[in-house]
Structure 1
Amino acid sequence: MPKPEIYITFRLTQPEKDLLREYCEQTGRNQTDVLRELIRGLKRRIKRTNEEV
């Protein structure tokens, strides 16, 4: 996998941060991997939305 070149910083509420931390602990994955997977999932959602139009 190519090395990422872009860094994004964003704010979370404490409950959102806690939820992310808990999910990472349960799955044994780090936050970066989890957030990347969620972002990649957007591609499928966009494709599905375009097909419905």
Structure 2
Amino acid sequence: MKSARQLNIKLLQQDIDILEAYSEKTQRTKTDILREFIRSLQSKLL
């Protein structure tokens, strides 16, 4: 497994609210949601 690195980002409160609501609805962590979204960008690079 590759070593994990930390990334700090600044978000508008509106974006945080959306992420938190989605996290609660799906019972997933915000980290997992963001990680999945970032990985979905791979197909857009092809």
TM-score, normalised on structure 1?
Answer: 0.79
Spell out the pairing of 1:10-29 with structure 2 (5 A cutoff): 10-29=9-28
Alignment length, in residue pairs? 46
Identical positions, percent:
37
Runs of 4+ in 1 over 4 A off after TM superposition: none
Structure 2 unmatched runs, 5+: none
Higher relative contact order (CA 8 A, sep 6+): 2
Larger radius of gyration: 1
**Between structures 1 and 2, the one with greater helix share:** 1
Alpha-carbon RMSD: 1.2
Partner of 1:34: 33
Q: What SS does structure 2 have at the residue aligned with 1:29?
A: coil
